[in-house]
Amino acid sequence: MKHIKAEALTSRRLSKADRRQQLLDTALQIIREEGGDRLTLGHLAIRAGVSKPVAYEHFGTRSALLIALYKALDLRQTNALKQALSAGERNLAETADLLAAAYINCAVDTGGEWHAIGAALAGSEEKGAVLQELLDGYVQLFASVLVPFSELSPAELARRCVGLVGAGEALSAAMVQGTYTESDAANTFAALIRGGVSAAR
């Protein structure tokens, strides 16, 4: 009884936003320690020390939880990219090197969890739409960073950034699988960025 009362007090101390973040952090911990198949709302509630209705109130379904995790990892990756690019003036080569290194490094940081969540979402109708939303965000970020170095039309630059982001995803996946080192993947990606922005149509 004392344990239940203490748990209830802990639950009341957290705001809704803080509770959601605690649940997301616990869900990532479950994926790291036990694998994506073990992540259910019921198991999340037990690991987080809350009642099952609390977990369902925040996410509703397992797919919604997985998508929230996908977006949380993506936000972390996007913020890291923006932070890496925020300071100082650079030429195209320096910008390409930094952009590529930051993008590939983010895949190192989130690789295991990212792929585990993706595997757990396999077959979900929402997965394709969510992935496209996230990739569109990266295309916009790349285009905004590279536009000062490009004489291409905005539409053409955007199309090339679609290809660049696709290449970055492929190189990141190959690196996580051990096909390439982080350095090799980043150097290749930087070369593609430089070529994609400066090449004539």
For 154-183, b/e burial (b = at least 16 CB within 10 A) is: eeebbbbbbebbebbeebbbebbeeebebe
Which tens digit of pLDDT belongs to each residue from 133-168? Answer: 888 999 999 999 999 999 999 999 999 999 999 999
Among the listed residues 50, 115, 124, 96, the one whose alpha carbon sits nearest the alpha carbon of residue 42: 50
Question: With bands split at pLDDT 50, 70 and 90, how would you rate the model's confidence at 5?
Answer: very low
164-169-196 Cα angle (round to 5): 10
In angstroms, the CA 105 to CA 95 distance is: 15
Residue type, 162: V
| pTM for the whole structure | 0.75
Contact 36, 116 (CB under 8 A): yes
* Structure confidence at residue 46 (pLDDT): 95
